[in-house]
Amino acid sequence: MKAAVCVFPGSNCDHDCYHVLKHVMGLDTEFVWHRERDLSRFDIIVVPGGFTYGDYLRTGAMAKLSPIMEGITEEAKKGKPVIGICNGFQILIEGGLLPGALIANRSLKFICSYVYLRTETSNTPFTAGIEKGRVLKIPIAHYQGNYFAHPDLLKELNDNDQVVFRYCSPEGEVTDEANPNGSLENIAGVCNRERNVVGMMPHPERCAERELGSVDGRLLFESVVNYVAG
Amino acid sequence: MREEVKITPELIREHNLTDEEYERILQILGREPTLTELGIFSVMWSEHCSYKSSKVHLKKFPTKGPYVIQGPGENAGVIDIGHGLAAVFKMESHNHPSFIEPYQGAATGVGGILRDVFTMGARPIALLDSLRFGNPSEPRTRFLVDGVVAGIAGYGNCIGIPTVGGEVYFEDCYNGNILVNVFTVGIARKERIFKGVAEGVGNPVIYVGAKTGRDGIHGATMASEEFDEESEEKRPTVQVGDPFMEKLLLEACLELMKRDVIVGIQDMGAAGLTSSSFEMAGRAGNGIELDLDRVPLREEGMTPYEIMLSESQERMLLVAKKGREDEVIEVFKKWDLDAVVVGRVTDDGYVRVRQGGKVVAELPVAPLTTDAPVYDRPWKRPADQDELQKLDLSSVPVPEDLGEVWKRLLGSLEVCDRSWIYRQYDHMIRTNTVVLPGSDSAVLRVKGTPLGLAISVDCNPRYCYLDPRLGAQIAVAESARNVAVAGAKPLAITDCLNFGNPEKPEVMWQFKEAVEGMAHACSVLETPVVSGNVSFYNETMGKGIYPTPTVAMVGVISDYLNAVTQYFKGEGHFIYLAGPDPSGEDLGGSLYLKEIHGMVRGIPPSLDLAFEKKLHKFLVEGAKRFYFSSAHDVSEGGIAVALAECCFTDEGPVCGFRVSLPWKGREDALLFGETQGRVIITVTSEREDDFLKFSEEMGIPVRKIGITGGNELHIEGLASLSLQEGYEIWKRAFREKLGL
């Protein structure tokens, strides 16, 4: 089983994702530079966090023009599991692989903190092993993670079970107090219609080892490995 | 080589050179300098670059040790941490620019220190910052706090290096001169350390990174002057940072360093192309020829003066092996960066600069580097120092309601929760942060090994004001203690020495005393100084800051899974105080005196360095044997505040405690006195016997004072308050006091 960690100029969670895939999950993992177009040799594709192109124009707006986006789109069409984390989520949205938009946090500050997420669906490769309703403790670290969508789109996402995670209290209640950034309906992660492409602002790769304070993030990687292994 | 500018006395003064210094230039050259040459002398002989007032004292620092690979004099210090790895670290100030333009000043401070570390071949793994601001009720303070924190966050988060800890103080003396000291540590393979040397005559000199613009010209000179009414006009001397560019530069440099191509490399920091070329040539005893026509420029029509003095950020100068230029260019091209051969190494000991085929500067290297002016400036103990140290405790009434005092201290800016700051920093990226911000020191794992690095930055400026020698010793001892309570052996320090105008004998006395105090403490604790920085002229309208010699200690834990934090781990753990008994009157320089009685005076708390050394060994060894469920240094606010801090985590209160303090003396001094060398330790009942036996063996006095648990912070017969109330005061104070 082969995993790709896509590296754009300014990606900075690439090493963290690589570490978890390679050393924690034991997968055959490669960094793939953004100028490559062919990702067909991979079974799992990770678009990591960071500040691609400095986030200077708009998060993900430049990265979506990189050649590697062709490869990601191609493999996503084939149904392979693709996950965008933080800036990776922003890139997949800009690239049209995921719905919605991400705007500045309502506090207008960067926020780095552990938060709680309620798993809203087990019906994606990355949550197949996590029962619906389970609360995960996973950190966020972003300035523009405030999920926004038009009311029609929001309805569609809910109707199609495309909301993967919502920010919640430690007990699993979805409240405004538990919403760190102002996301609509506390949305922390979504998937595409076909369900194989997932984007999320929280960082599962930062909590996949006991010494880092939580191992909940590991559940996502275990899920996708089991999914691919069939 | 004549430029059509006459060197006038006004021009010399504008360049911050004295008449004697100009006379010396004439002697060195045997002719008048060109304008470009005058500019080069001005920056290289500035206090910032030459250390001319501090050099004679800095020699007193112990800089050697069995594990020191590189001491002061390079871009950063290097120590051997085992497993074939080295820790590369340095701290640097960016005080003057941060006051003028807080966001960019702080951001470029981060960028500069990161380059100092990765230029040596190390991948930076963590940042810490030590900040000093003025009175929180001054409107500008809020603007500065907001801007500095956002600047550090903006740069560090984007480049993807976690900011894992730091410290912040607020004192009126910083109203006109804030301090922004940034520390970085990186990890390198110990046989792959790169230095800033221009070796190998004929080797190409290559410029890499961002293009050169007109920004930051004379930044180093600005940092070598006091502020006055016109300082606001100096905004254009502050550089603008581009963390994305630096991220590319970082990756490109580390990628290139894997190949055997680089001979020497140095960041273009203060004084840009000038300092990097002169210093690299100087260290190798060689010369360099530069062709300015090849330097990548951001705008047209730049003069040689501007190009040589620009402090545009995110640039490096490297010397490569002859014939391997294309490999360098290829790697940088992959990262969309300029890499241009701008000159070559020569053997004549001169830096020769050409533009349009004409020589525009031709200067011998040594007089600008190793043989630059050195001043042994006169020093004098301030006339009011004795008065400051007088503290008549009989005139300080013991407050009736000590619980109320306790609350005020928990809600003071020195004690309260700082998550407003560190939540804006990505402190988890790179997934090494095993102890998150909030505990005594930050702990990072070193991937691929069981090792952990513990880091703490410390300096109590009130202590240093009242007694610079003792205050500086305490800064070293406290930073070592903070590292040791986490279970790490303190190894070496880097420092930022922030002082006023060195031309004033009283300031020079403070500096001399602080350096000697640090040197002594470092000798006793066997923690050499491996790098550092001096920032003088932190004065506005003739008023200087408290002497602030900030210390950053790096320690190593042999297994990071053994790291100890300050937080209580649950109910029913026994609470011990390790270290000397409270004297019952040790209140000089305390937070309590400042906050409750409005006094900054007396002699700072007593410190026994020989005992400290024993204590650190006890803490490190005890952590290894899992004797402690928590350990916390007693510092500002004394035992009462330290106990409360053990109950509070970022995510909420753990539990309360009941203790009794079985000592005699003034009640306020028992609770809030800051006697050094003390640690609050908790022990489970299963480990208690072993712990006591161990303490005795190690010769460390420990006294059982109580037990964890309940919803109350309770000190028998003295003070009591509810856990929730204490927590909320502590949690809310920062934002409330600063109106953020």
- For A111, the closest of B423, B431, B561 (CB atoms) is B423
Q: pLDDT at position B271, please? A: 84
Contact yes or no for B275/B44 (Cβ under 8 A): yes
Q: pLDDT at position B232, please? A: 59
Q: What is the pLDDT of residues A203-214, one digit of tens each?
A: 999 999 999 999
* B221 band by pLDDT with thresholds 50, 70 and 90: low
Alpha helices (H) in B137-191, listed in sequence order? 139-159
Contact yes or no for B347/B287 (Cβ under 8 A): yes
List B residues 5-34 in contact with A (Cβ-Cβ < 8 A).
none
Q: How far is B633 from chain A (nearest CA, A)?
A: 23
Q: What is the pLDDT of residues B61-87, one digit of tens each?
A: 999 999 999 999 999 999 999 999 999
Query: How many other C-beta atoms are found inside a 10 Å radius of the C-beta of residue B47?
Result: 23
Cα–Cα distance, B160 to B158 (Å, whole number): 5
Q: pLDDT at position B187, please? A: 98
Cα–Cα distance, B504 to B600 (Å, whole number): 22
- Lowest-confidence segment of B1-10, B28-37, B413-422 by average pLDDT: B1-10
Cα–Cα distance, A5 to A28 (Å, whole number): 11
Q: What does pLDDT average to over chain B?
A: 95
- Lowest-confidence segment of A105-114, B29-38, B214-223, B382-391 by average pLDDT: B214-223
Cα–Cα distance, B240 to B504 (Å, whole number): 33
CB pairs under 8 A between A and B: 85
Q: Which residues of A touch B422 (CB under 8 A)?
A: 112
What CA–CA distances, in Å, run from B525 to B220, B533, B551, B604, B617?
A: 34, 21, 14, 20, 10
* Active site residues per annotation of A: 86, 203, 205
Q: Which residues of A touch B560 (CB under 8 A)?
A: 211
**CB spacing of A112 vs B423 below 8 angstroms:** yes
Average pLDDT over residues B618-640: 97
Interface with B, mutate which of A22, A32, A66, A110 (most B CBs under 10 A): A110
**CB spacing of B428 vs A209 below 8 angstroms:** no
Q: pLDDT at position B239, please? A: 82
**CB spacing of A112 vs B422 below 8 angstroms:** yes
**CB spacing of A54 vs B242 below 8 angstroms:** yes
- B436 and A CB contact within 8 Å: yes
Q: Which residues of A touch B209 (CB under 8 A)?
A: none
Q: pLDDT at position B231, please? A: 64
Extract the tokens encoding B485.
């309570």
pLDDT beyond 70 at B236: no
- Residue B25's identity, in one-letter code, is I
- For A10, the closest of B247, B422, B430 (CB atoms) is B247
Contact yes or no for A200/A189 (Cβ under 8 A): yes
Q: How far is B481 from chain A (nearest CA, A)?
A: 23
Q: Residue-wise over B446-457: b if at least 16 C-beta within 10 A, else e?
A: beebebbbbbbb
- List the CATH code of the domain at A2-229: 3.40.50.880
Q: Which residues of A touch B428 (CB under 8 A)?
A: 112, 139, 141, 203, 206, 212
Nearest alpha-carbon partner for B623 in B492, B491, B485: B485
- A36 and B CB contact within 8 Å: no
**CB spacing of A110 vs B425 below 8 angstroms:** yes
What CA–CA distances, in Å, run from A81 to A2, B580, B685?
A: 12, 61, 51
- B433 and A CB contact within 8 Å: yes
What CA–CA distances, in Å, run from B739 to B130, B136, B145, B340, B421?
A: 21, 9, 11, 49, 14
Cα–Cα distance, B310 to B292 (Å, whole number): 12
- Lowest-confidence segment of B59-63, B391-395, B539-543, B625-629 by average pLDDT: B539-543
Extract the tokens encoding B664.
């005699």
CA B526 to centroid of chain Cα atoms? 19
Average pLDDT over residues B89-113: 95
Cα–Cα distance, B134 to B136 (Å, whole number): 6
Q: What is the pLDDT of residues B185-213, one digit of tens each?
A: 999 999 999 999 999 999 999 999 999 99
Tell me the percentage of chain B whose pLDDT exceeds 90: 92
Q: Answer whether 0.90 is exceeded by the pTM.
A: yes
Average pLDDT over residues B295-322: 94
Interface ipTM: 0.97
What's the per-residue H, E or C state across B333-382?
A: HHCCCEEEEEEEEECCCEEEEEECCEEEEEEECHHHCCCCCCCCCCCCCC
- Residue A170's identity, in one-letter code, is P
Q: Which residues of A touch B247 (CB under 8 A)?
A: 9-10, 12, 51, 54
**CB spacing of A112 vs B425 below 8 angstroms:** yes
- Lowest-confidence segment of A162-171, B153-162, B239-248 by average pLDDT: B239-248
Q: pLDDT at position B167, please? A: 96
Alpha helices (H) in B502-561, listed in sequence order? 505-525
- Residue B634's identity, in one-letter code, is V
* B387 band by pLDDT with thresholds 50, 70 and 90: very high
Give the gyration radius of chain B's Cα atoms. 26
Average pLDDT over residues A13-28: 98
Nearest alpha-carbon partner for B474 in B438, B525, B535, B409: B525
Q: pLDDT at position B456, please? A: 97
Cα–Cα distance, B621 to B487 (Å, whole number): 7
Cα–Cα distance, B224 to B45 (Å, whole number): 10
- The ranges assigned to domains in chain A are 2-229
**CB spacing of B244 vs A12 below 8 angstroms:** no
Residue of B nearest to A113 (CA): B423
- B242 and A CB contact within 8 Å: yes
How is residue A11 annotated by DSSP?
B
Average pLDDT over residues B270-292: 95
Three-class DSSP category at A83: strand
**CB spacing of A9 vs B427 below 8 angstroms:** no
Cα–Cα distance, B66 to B492 (Å, whole number): 11
Cα–Cα distance, B443 to B563 (Å, whole number): 7
- B422 and A CB contact within 8 Å: yes
Query: How many other C-beta atoms are found inside a 10 Å radius of the C-beta of residue B212?
Result: 25
Tell me the percentage of chain A whose pLDDT exceeds 90: 98
* B2 band by pLDDT with thresholds 50, 70 and 90: very low
pLDDT beyond 60 at B3: no
Contact yes or no for B92/B116 (Cβ under 8 A): yes
Q: pLDDT at position B235, please? A: 56
Q: pLDDT at position B226, please? A: 75
Q: pLDDT at position B224, please? A: 66
* B4 band by pLDDT with thresholds 50, 70 and 90: low
